[in-house]
Each structure stands twice: as C-alpha cells, then as structure tokens.
C-alpha cells in the first residue's frame, strides 16, 4: 500500500502562510481534516525557513493539527534546525509519530539533521543531491544514496528502515530529461540492500509550471509508473479525487474499466522495465489517448509542450 503524505499545509500557499502569521488555527484545522478524509496517512507541515520564529511556529502548528486530527503522524518540513528540534520535542510530548523532511548529502545538512533523526528515532527523507546539485542520471542518484546517505546516516545511528530515499522529482516543463530517470532511480534504490531501503517522492513536482488543466493527469500517470518501480510513499495532494481513484485501481488491481485496464498494463510494463505497448491503447478513446500521450512525455520520448494533448 502506498503511504500517502498530504502536501497541502505549506507556506507557498497564501492561505496557509497568513494563517500561520496570524496564529489562526481555523484554516489549518480544516485543511488537516480534509486531507485525512482524502486518505492521507501523514501530513507534511512545511513552514519553510522561518528563521526568526520557527522554533515557536512548528510546535504551535503541531498542536493545532493534533487537535484537528488527533494522532495523525506529521512530517516536519523546514530548513531551520531549531524549529525542527522544537517540533520533534512537541511530537514526543504528544505521542505523535514524526518524520523529518528532509536531509541531503551536503555535509552541513547531514551533520545537522542526521543526529536529530537518531536522537528522536524518527524516519528521515534523504534527498539524493549534493552541494553540486541534482544529477540527471539514475545511476548517479543511486551512488549518492549508496556512497554518502546510507553509510553516513547509519553511522549516526539512523537505522536503514528509517531512511526514505528520495530521487528528487523535477518538472516535465523544462527539466524533462530528469523525469524518467527518477523512476529508474527508485528501481536502483530498491536494489541497494536486502532488505531494500524505503523510497519516497514529491509527486506534484513533476507538474510544476504545467497548465492547471493538465496537472492532475500528469501526476496520476507518473504515480502509476513510480509505484511500479517500487515507490513506498508519496508526498501528494489527497484532495485530488481522480488521483485517489488511480491509487485504488492499482492497489486493488481493478481492471473492470478500459482505463483501469490500461493503467494496470502500464504498471506491469513499467515494473519489468518495458515500454507501454501502443496496441494496449484504444486510440478511439480520448481518455486512453491522453494517458498514452502523457506516458510519452514522462518517458522523454516526445518533447513536452503545454499543448501536448492537442498534438
């Protein structure tokens, strides 16, 4: 089963930022309730850098969320170490499961976040990037995981089962060559050890800067491919009902509809490293054609354009 981390409580949202600034719990509580109702198993709490008051904001936000959806696990998403530790302490006090989002292979970040993950015995999302940035190839991302992240974090006392490797999903609009390699990176991660490490991805990143009408479709098709490669958890929008339906189709292997059958065919082909056979697509069905065209842009077989569905 895919572990779903709700992405909607994040400071890039004007509503969320204003609610935090004004210490107004109402909108945040409603967002929390809606995400859990939509199937989120954990809620990501993204307060950004929040340098001046992060150490106050994070524990306050955790209390607000726990009041709205008692006992729901939270992912603490901030680059402020003081805010991170204050949040971990609050979770410990309230008996809430927590996760750290995130650490990278940059030494400064590793030595700051790794010990906190060990001290509080919480899972941590480990980004396969260094100070040089995010490599394009799946092999290089796997090398960062194998040569830096896994050994360094385990040395610090973080057990392998608490390390969630993230290949770093980038948008198909402008960084298209990265998109299929994130799928392959998940496959590589799963071969790094026995038992294999856990994997996670920020799903909505793939459709950043894409017109709103195409975002859900791109996210849905990409998630099928990521799950087929071995994805364990995704940071996603649990308010997207169409996305939730695709997850259900894959998890229940429901091939009772033509679209469901096509999505399962895509899943099975991706799982064994093969391309989707065009003969599996009913080219007279607009919904299936849209899925087919989306697979082609996600595999970097056709150059992405905002109008790709009309081409």
The CATH number assigned to the domain holding 176 equals 3.20.20.20
Q: Hey, what are 160's tokens? A: 């392998």
Q: Hey, what are 108's tokens? A: 């400064």
Whether 58 is in a domain gets the answer yes
Is the bond preceding residue 102 a cis peptide, omega within 30 degrees?
yes
Backbone angles phi, psi at 153, to 5 degrees: -70, -40
Q: What is the mean pLDDT of the chain?
A: 97
Whether 293 is in a domain gets the answer no
In the block, tokens 């995010």 appear at 134
Q: Rounded to the nearest 5 degrees, what angle is found at the Cα of 248, between the Cα atoms of 247 and 252?
A: 120
Q: For residue 139, what pLDDT is reported? A: 97
* pLDDT tens string 188-243: 999 998 889 999 999 999 999 999 999 999 999 999 999 999 999 999 999 999 99
Q: Domain tally for the chain?
A: 1
Task: Over range 246-269, report the average pLDDT.
Answer: 98
Q: For residue 194, what pLDDT is reported? A: 87
275 to 188, 205, 226, 293: CA distances (angstroms): 18, 23, 14, 13
* pLDDT tens string 45-60: 999 999 999 999 999 9
27 to 77, 223, 235: CA distances (angstroms): 19, 28, 20
Q: Which residues pair with 103 in a beta bridge?
A: 126
Q: For residue 92, what pLDDT is reported? A: 98
Q: Give the burial class of 163: count Cβ atoms within 10 A of its Cβ; 0-12 exposed, 13-18 middle, 19 or more buried.
A: buried
Model confidence at 257: pLDDT above 90 = yes
Q: Hey, what are 185's tokens? A: 């990176």
Q: For residue 193, what pLDDT is reported? A: 87
Whether 269 is in a domain gets the answer no
Model confidence at 164: pLDDT above 90 = yes
List the domain range (segments joined by +) for residue 78: 3-239
Task: Over range 175-182, report the average pLDDT.
Answer: 97
Q: For residue 233, what pLDDT is reported? A: 98
pTM of structure? 0.97
Whether 307 is in a domain gets the answer no
Whether 193 is in a domain gets the answer yes
Whether 246 is in a domain gets the answer no
Q: For residue 28, what pLDDT is reported? A: 98
What angle, rounded to 10 degrees, do the helices at 212-229 and 241-252 form? Answer: 20
* pLDDT tens string 77-126: 999 999 999 999 999 999 999 999 999 999 999 999 999 999 999 999 99
């Amino acid at each position: 089963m895919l572990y779903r981390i709700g992405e909607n409580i994040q400071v890039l949202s004007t509503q969320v930022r204003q609610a935090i600034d004004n210490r107004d719990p109402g909108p945040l509580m409603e967002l929390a309730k809606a995400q859990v109702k939509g199937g989120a198993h954990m809620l990501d709490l993204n307060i950004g850098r929040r340098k001046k008051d992060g150490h106050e904001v994070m524990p306050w936000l955790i209390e607000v969320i726990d009041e709205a959806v008692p006992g729901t696990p939270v992912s603490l998403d901030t680059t402020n170490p003081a805010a991170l530790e204050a949040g971990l302490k609050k979770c410990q006090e309230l008996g809430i499961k927590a996760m750290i989002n995130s650490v990278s292979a940059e030494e400064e970040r590793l030595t700051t976040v790794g010990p906190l993950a060990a001290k509080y015995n919480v899972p941590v999302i480990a980004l396969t990037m260094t100070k040089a940035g995010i490599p394009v190839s799946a092999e290089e991302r796997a090398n960062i995981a194998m040569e830096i992240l896994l050994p360094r974090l385990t040395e610090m006392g973080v057990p392998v089962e608490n390390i969630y490797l993230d290949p770093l999903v980038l948008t198909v609009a402008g960084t298209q060559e990265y998109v299929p390699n994130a799928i392959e990176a998940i496959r590589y991660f799963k071969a790094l050890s026995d038992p294999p490490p856990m994997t996670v991805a920020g799903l909505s990143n793939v459709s950043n800067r894409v017109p709103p009408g195409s975002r859900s479709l791109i996210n849905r098709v990409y998630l099928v491919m990521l799950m087929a490669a071995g994805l364990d958890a995704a940071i996603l929008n649990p308010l997207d009902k169409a996305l939730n339906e695709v997850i259900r189709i894959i998890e229940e292997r429901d091939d009772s509809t033509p679209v469901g059958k096509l999505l399962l065919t895509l899943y099975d082909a991706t799982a064994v490293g093969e391309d989707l056979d065009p003969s599996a697509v009913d080219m007279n069905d607009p919904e299936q054609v849209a899925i087919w065209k989306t697979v082609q842009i996600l595999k970097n077989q056709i150059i992405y354009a905002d109008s790709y569905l009309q081409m």
